[in-house]
Amino acid sequence: MEREILHLKVPSFPVAVEQLRDGSLQGRPVAICTSGPGRALLQAVSPEAHRQGLHKGMLRQEALRTCPDVRLLPPNPELCMRMTRLLFGLLAAYTPLVEPSHPGSLFLDLSGTRRLFGPARDLAWKVRKEIRGRVGLEPRLGLAGNKLLSRIATRVIPESSLCDVFPGGERHFLEPLDVTVLPAVRTPSCNERVHELNIEKVSHLLPIDLPALQLAFGRQGLALYRQARGLDISPVRPPSRSPRITAEETLPEESNEDVFLLAVTLGLTEEAGRRLRQMKATTGRMELEVQYADTVLAQRACRIEPPCHLDASLFQHAFRLLERAVQRRVRIRRITIHCTQITVQPLQAMLFPDDVLFSLAWKEEALQHALDEIRARFGRKAIVRRGG
C-alpha cells in the first residue's frame, strides 16, 4: 500500500491566530515581535506587512522605519498552542495518525483511508474547506509519499493551496528547488559547508556520490544524500502519552553573550525543576535546543544519572548542553529545554538525618524547598542569584 502523507501548515501562524482573535487586525500590516529596545527581531509577519517590505528576522527599528503603520504584537505562545490543539482535534476525525510538528503545522497519515473518504487529494481539499469554514484559517497543504516531501511542498507553494507530489515525480519536484529546503541544511555545520562549496540547488547534490558527501559533510552526508532524492521512511507519530516538560524562552533581544545566555538557561531549568517538584517526579533525560537569528537550529541531549529534580543538578546538565550546542558566533533567538523520561515517585523520608552520607542531600532538598516557598509567595523574581 502506497503511503499518502498530508502536511498542513498555516503561514505566519502567530499572526493568523491574532487576526482571528481581533478582527480589527484583518487586512492590516501586523508583525509579532518582542518588546523593548535593541536587536529585537520580527518573528512573524502578515501578508500585508510582507507586501510593504517587512520579513521575518527584520530588526524592530528597521521595520518601523519601513512601515510606520505596522502593528507590533508580543508573542502569545499559549494562544498558539490552544489553536494547534483545536486543529489536532478536527484532523483526528479523519485519521488517528496525526503528528503536530510545530504550532500551526501538522502531519496526517492518510494511507488506507481511501475506502472511507475517497482519494487522498479529495480528502485534502475537504480538510482545507473544513478548517477555513470552522476555524477561519487559510492552510497550505502538501501531499506526498512521505513526510519530507509533503513538508517541502508546503514551503514552496506561493499561497494557501494544495501541492500534490505524484509518485515517481519526486526527483523532478526537488531538482529546481533551493538546497535550503532540505532539513539537513538547517544544521549549523552543514549550512556553512553548503555555502563554502557553492551548492545552491538540490540538483547540484544529485551527481555527488555518497562517499564524497560523507567526506565533505561527515555524519550529515547520508542525510543529504537521502533527502536530495526525496527518501524518508519516518512514520507519522501521534503525540507521546509519556510525560514531558518543556521550558522555552524567546529572548527579548537576540544575543550571543555568555552571561546572558547562562542567565536565561538558569531561568529555564528553574521553571522545569519547579514543575518536576510539583509532580513529585524526576527526569532522566534532558534536551536543549537553540535557534539562531538566521533560523538555524542546534540540538544536544544527555542522560541524567541518577534522575533528579533539583535546580542545581538540572542547571549543571543544561550548562554542559549549552556549551556543546552553541558553536557559532551568530546571535541566538530562542532557547528551549525538554525534560523527558519522567518518573513519578514519592520522595523517601530520611531515617538518619545526622548521617554524613545523607546530610548534604537533605540540606539541598531543604534549601530547594525554601526557595520554592519564597517564589510561590513573592514571585519568581524574589530571588536573584549573584556571582559565579
The verdict on 8 and 102 lying in the same domain is yes
pLDDT of amino acid 81: 84
Cα 7 to Cα 127: distance, rounded to the nearest angstrom: 11
Cα 376 to Cα 206: distance, rounded to the nearest angstrom: 58
Instruction: Output the domain CATH number for residue 208.
Output: 1.10.150.20
The verdict on 157 and 172 lying in the same domain is no
The verdict on 207 and 113 lying in the same domain is no
The verdict on 174 and 285 lying in the same domain is no
In the chain, how many domains are there? 4
Residue span of the structural domain in which 296 resides: 245-347
Q: Which of 179, 204, 239 finishes a domain? A: 239
CA torsion sign, 14 to 272 to 317 to 331? Answer: positive
pLDDT of amino acid 388: 47
Pairing of strands 30-33, 71-73: parallel
Q: Which of 137, 164, 191 finishes a domain? A: 164
Q: Which of 164, 179, 211 finishes a domain? A: 164
The verdict on 303 and 337 lying in the same domain is yes
The verdict on 205 and 267 lying in the same domain is no
The verdict on 123 and 206 lying in the same domain is no
| Low-confidence residues of the chain: pLDDT under 70 | 1, 36-39, 240-242, 345-365, 375, 379-388
Could you give the strand order of the β-sheet that contains 105-109, starting from the edge strand earlier in sequence?
98-102, 105-109, 5-9, 140-144, 162-164
Instruction: Output the domain CATH number for residue 46.
Output: 3.30.70.270
> What are the CA-CA distances from residue 83 to residues 21, 93, 240, 384 (Å)?
11, 16, 19, 35
Query: Which of these, 181, 187, 234, 232, lies nearest to 204 by C-alpha position?
Result: 181
pLDDT of amino acid 357: 44
Cell of 366: 531543604
- Using CA atoms of 76, 81, 83, 88 in order, give the dihedral in degrees to the nearest 10: 170
Cα 169 to Cα 152: distance, rounded to the nearest angstrom: 14
Q: Give the amino acid at 151.
A: R
pLDDT of amino acid 23: 86
pLDDT of amino acid 293: 82
The verdict on 153 and 127 lying in the same domain is yes
Cα 28 to Cα 71: distance, rounded to the nearest angstrom: 8
- Long-range CB pairs of 25-32 (<8 Å, 24+ gap) are 25/71, 28/69, 28/71, 29/54, 29/67, 29/69, 29/70, 29/71, 30/70, 30/71, 30/73, 31/63, 31/70, 31/71, 31/72, 31/73, 32/72, 32/73, 32/74, 32/75
Q: Are 9 and 105 in contact (CB under 8 A)?
A: yes
The verdict on 227 and 290 lying in the same domain is no
The verdict on 3 and 133 lying in the same domain is yes
